[in-house]
Amino acid sequence: MVKPTGQWTDQYVDELIGNLLRVGVTLAAAMVLFGGTVYLFRHGLEAPHYLVFVGEPADLRSVSGIVRDALALRGRGLIQLGLLLLIATPVARVAFSVVVFVMQRDRLYVVVALIVLAVLMYSLLGGRL
């Protein structure tokens, strides 16, 4: 995949976006698989307690807590980080599209992509601004 001289063609941009999505999903899947392996290695023989519901620990309810647990190589943190990567992949695709449309000076698509990005960010923030 060689970048054409002068401008970004539609085919080149499509290949870049395809690679971005492919790499993002592959990294997310690998992270979840690694985290699941670590979790099962450490907790695979524990008996589940189905009578009492236990939600996620407080440290896995924020991005900083998830990253901290993942860096400590805790299975749940690695799985959660993989899921965050999976969620971030389409957001990165839309953000990349905005940059490409700005470079191509395509105002209509810049506006549309910015609206899509705003809706994505609004929904990821839980409707809070």
Any alpha helices (H) in the chain, and if so which ranges?
A: 10-43, 63-71, 75-103, 107-124
CA distance 1 to 46: 49
User: For residue 96, is pLDDT > 60?
Assistant: yes
Q: What percent of the chain shows pLDDT beyond 70? A: 92
Distances in Å between the Cα of 23 and the Cα atoms of 19, 27, 48, 86, 109 are 6, 6, 35, 10, 24
Tens digit of each residue's pLDDT (9 = 90 or more) over 20-45: 999 999 999 999 999 999 999 998 88
* Residue 13 binned pLDDT confidence (cut-offs 50, 70, 90): confident
Distances in Å between the Cα of 112 and the Cα atoms of 3, 4, 53, 94, 106 are 25, 26, 43, 10, 10
User: For residue 74, is pLDDT > 70?
Assistant: yes
User: For residue 5, is pLDDT > 60?
Assistant: no
CA geometry: angle 104, 109, 111, nearest 5 deg: 115
More confident position, 52 or 126? 52
